[in-house]
Structure 1
């Protein structure tokens, strides 16, 4: 929306500006009724730099008037740069703190999001000896004196001087309410600034003080599992049947010599990857899937390559594609949709905690294992962006693409929340809410927003409410984007009474239990003819040497 500012015959056309009066006087009226006058240093229009809104009053210059004006794009660019600079400075300080040095970058970004800047005047006590505390401090500016009273009593003695980058109180983050063993006093005439991190925020951002210990144990277990596949070679693999066919190549059900278990082998034509410029996406897919250890994500065990193809040896999920079941049934009831939405939420929670945005959510990318649990597959569009970061790549299935991706505004994890709402709608009705005869028409319909969509009666009130909260036009307003993240989605009324613990432990009975007679049974997949495509040419460029 554009606003007009008129001053003695001059017209200024600005995009949602926010004004500060530096000289002169203006009159404010509403519906022709006088409200007030404003002069130097007064501001108006500030809501317009935060979000698109209708002007609530008219402002008219009464004298020759000078204004400072800033429009929304400029304001947002400044705020983004300021935020990124501040976060970089904080993360740089965190790198210097010994107890944080083992945390990955995405965890440090999370910590940077929850620390607070606190100012202390010269002589202020930051902590007192003997007091119980739950906060850690990192000096960002200035210096402090550390004093300690001897155990036998007497006056406190100066024992240390702390400066920028030094820290104290870290022992309070481990869950114990220990008493402070010294005084820390601000000792800078210009005052000091500390980054403060309380225990609750630390636990929420990191998962607890033992998180890196448990991570190292898990990693060692994962390495042991991965070593089981290190000696497998392509000639050891024999095809049992075809599970899927696409432009990229085929997915075959395979056996490995000397093993009873079956696997899925995804083969990708290198020529097709190069022609569609998907090299970076393929390498990212391999890295993300190899590192993923989640019961709701299909496992990738190892990869191979030759002159014509790339190969991915995957966990075989013989329950079939959720899309195939949806196609045959027409739509799912509330309970079935809730269960498979919950499976997706568990997968997204795992990915987002690792700083990964998925970006390709749709029923075709959800496979059922033999028990009926849903698992995400196909990570070609997944990308590691870390907390507080955005990416500008245009990708995804047209019907599921979020508005900010279409508008090239930059997107983050909230794009997955939008897609989650679209998935719910499609599972409940059999088709996504935004469809057009071509992608551009679909994008134009998406930009009109979810409020323009008429919900069928079969979608319950709570389900409709959740879909609309997930599919807010503004990414920051979407359910799941707030402080508690995906937990806010789990606590929505639509999930009232849902057994999340049973889902995680796999003791909850799935609504669809596929009939799988053996580990070579492919009856839950469509039938595919033998491969008659011409053999692709060799690709010896070497871009896949690390695959």
Structure 2
């Protein structure tokens, strides 16, 4: 479906430097955008539109269709909560950098409160269809990208298309900057990491830097396979993007590959032991 395969079909609204900063900071704090990678965030960011409301304007009423998510760039709004008889039972004020309306966009529910601009207020908004359309498009793209990526990893190179798709659908993305410690020796381990882009260094307290890993390599399986603390510290040398599996998904989806992972893990442990004796 072309509507979900071509990002040029979605809106791209120009923004000033200050507007970019305000929107970016708000998006990072909002549940609506948790779990998105930088490319997905950028596409959604571009689609936000500006709308200004004069003082004492009702932005939406309780019970209205929840079709937009709003960010306040500048201004002040009152969120009014009422009971079934429309008697006010509480209110809260929100201002610069605050957001409202995410539940309607996420779940399609009617508005649970009335929102009034009590001062002249400038907002940025994104509608439900754009949000869902962009995420659907990115989901399809991400699955295709992850399936190709899994082919480059020795453990998964021989599995069929269906198995690759199942694993691709449960992968999370983690992006870190140079110098970031991803895992620390001795810590409990609950995540398996596969490097999509960038370089990391692996070190131990006993031997220092043992090796470097790049695209197509993985780490973190020792703690999950043997239920032991991390055997080494892994730090990002460059900007790094990784695909990750938590403990539950690791057990559910990588069970058929456990023998291969254990064999590779044994080789890796021998490398760590040999390095410690140097």
Same fold? TM cut 0.5: yes
- Aligned partner of 2:253 in structure 1 is 205
Partner Cα separation in structure 1 for residue 248 and residue 170 of structure 2: 10
Aligned residues: CA RMSD: 4.1
Is 1:61 matched with 2:110? no
Higher strand share: 2
Is 1:52 matched with 2:108? yes
Structure 1 ranges of 4+ moved more than 4 A:
5-15, 118-121, 131-135, 169-173, 178-182
The answer (yes or no) to whether the contact 1:28–1:37 under 8 Å persists in 2 is yes
Map 1:93-104; keep pairs closer than 5 Å: 93-104=149-160
Relative contact order higher in (CA < 8 Å, ≥ 6 apart):
2
Q: Give a deviation string over 1:131-167, Cα, whole Å, max 9, x none.
A: 9968542113432223468xxxxx5154432123322
Is 1:183 matched with 2:232? yes
Correspondent of 1:124 among 177, 181, 202: 181
Partner Cα separation in structure 1 for residue 238 and residue 66 of structure 2: 44
- Aligned partner of 1:360 in structure 2 is none
Runs of 5+ in structure 2 lacking a partner?
Answer: 1-51, 261-278
Higher helix share: 2
Partner Cα separation in structure 2 for residue 211 and residue 182 of structure 1: 19
The secondary structure found in structure 2 opposite 1:49 is helix
Runs of 5+ in structure 1 lacking a partner?
Answer: 150-154, 213-547
- Aligned partner of 2:75 in structure 1 is 24
The secondary structure found in structure 1 opposite 2:147 is helix
The answer (yes or no) to whether the contact 1:135–1:198 under 8 Å persists in 2 is yes
In structure 2, relative to structure 1, the CA distance for the partners of 1:133 and 1:36 (3 Å cut) is closer
Shift of 1:86: 2.9
In structure 2, relative to structure 1, the CA distance for the partners of 1:141 and 1:26 (3 Å cut) is same
In structure 2, relative to structure 1, the CA distance for the partners of 1:180 and 1:98 (3 Å cut) is farther
Is 1:41 matched with 2:97? yes
The secondary structure found in structure 2 opposite 1:208 is helix
Partner Cα separation in structure 2 for residue 193 and residue 108 of structure 1: 19
In structure 2, relative to structure 1, the CA distance for the partners of 1:58 and 1:124 (3 Å cut) is closer
Shift of 1:180: 9.2
Partner Cα separation in structure 2 for residue 69 and residue 178 of structure 1: 46
TM-score, normalisation: structure 1: 0.31
- Aligned partner of 1:165 in structure 2 is 216
Shift of 1:200: 4.6
TM-score, normalisation: structure 2: 0.56
Correspondent of 1:156 among 204, 207, 218: 207
